[in-house]
Structure 1
Amino acid sequence: MLDFETYQELIGLYAEYAAVLDSADWDRWPEFFTDECLYRVQPRENFDRGLPLATMSFESKGMLKDRVYGMTETIFHDPYYQRHVVGAPIVREVDSRHIRSEANYAVFRTKQDELTTVFNVGRYIDVIQRTPQGLRLKSRTCVFDSEMVANSLIYPI
């Protein structure tokens, strides 16, 4: 069982994560993770069948920083805004080192001169670790419901 104070901190982690992505503060994104971490964006079909293929898969904070550099300095794409709507996290398991939790999410995308569209919908499946800096993601798997991702996936989910 998770105490109230820790659950409030968990809610804050989810909210701040979404706010950082929505404000395009990309340099802060890797700081939500431990140094040795896993970040994956995976279609539901593959996740449910235990298949390893993922749309994105990064295995360390260094790889996340490389992604930030790539998407801000080298990848050419039409700019767009994101808006995350994240449900309240459900705590699945707690032990002395980790919190395993899940939360539903919806990401909306707005391109200049276009209407807002639903970009990606699914759930976060997380392993969260307490560190001296607070709660950090040891693992985040973004399991999206659609078998397709509109255009290319540039920004983190």
Structure 2
Amino acid sequence: MVDLQTWFGIQQLYADYASAVDSGHWDLWPEFFTEQCVYKLQPRENFERGFPLCTLSFTSKGMLKDRVYGIQETLYHDPYYQRHVVGAPMVRRVEDGRIHAEANYAVFRTKLDKESTVFNVGRYIDTLVPTPEGLKFAERLCVYDSEMIPNSIIYPI
């Protein structure tokens, strides 16, 4: 479905994304997306039933940058580290130059004075597009498995 160079580009994009959101350098996060993009965090039940309700929903790179500003400047929360473990992406199809891919993920959270815990588990459902800077996300839907989530999700999944 995709050539070897594109496959490596997809792998690198997923690895770089996980590294960026785990590093705490939040300004890196929006740069993985196109200007007109979609980023949603949605429970599996809503996704499978076709319900539009999402926990988080952003529809432009500007909105992602606004979230970064909120994380850095306005949101008050108990700080924590997160660590992503992402499975190998599976290319589902390629249409009109857009790559539709999926990957399973698990995010672990470590609060400064506590042990690490499983924070969020699910799958990414992505649409990738080539840009002059390399592959970027046009859409990233994070479909999480559990109906029970912590009372606040501050950092990107």
Bin the TM-score by the shorter chain: over 0.9
Structure 1: which 5+ residue stretches go unaligned? none
The answer for the alignment partner of 2:7 in structure 1 is 7
TM-score (norm 1): 0.99
Q: Residue type matched to 1:155 in 2?
A: Y
SS in 1 for 2:19: helix
In structure 1, the partner of 2:78 is 78
Paired with 2:30 and 2:94, the residues of 1 have a C-alpha distance of 24
Which residues in structure 2 correspond to 1:1-157 (within 5 Å)?
A: 1-157=1-157
So what's the TM-score if we normalise by structure 2? 0.99
- Offset of residue 151 of structure 1: 2.6
- Alpha-carbon separation, structure 1, partners of 2:62 and 2:122: 26
Segments of structure 2 that go 5 or more residues without pairing to the other structure are none
Quote how far apart the aligned CAs of 1:96 are: 3.7
Render the CA deviation track for 1:13-66: whole Å, top value 9, x for unaligned: 000000001101100100000000000000000000000000000000000000
Single out whichever of 43-52 and 96-105 deviates more from structure 2: 96-105
Deviation of the 1:103 alpha carbon: 0.1
- Deviation of 1:149 after TM superposition, in Å, equals 1.1
Q: How many residues end up aligned between the 2 structures? A: 157
Using the TM superposition, give the Cα deviation of residue 94 of structure 1 relative to its aligned residue in structure 2, in angstroms.
0.9
Shift of 1:68: 0.3
Counterpart residue identity of residue 98, structure 1? R
Q: Deviations over 1:63-95 (max 9, x none)?
A: 000000011100000000000000000000013
Percent identical among aligned pairs is: 64
Alpha-carbon displacement from aligned partner over 1:114-140 (angstroms, at most 9, x marks no partner): 000000000000000001110000000
- Cα deviation for residue 113 of structure 1 reads 1.1
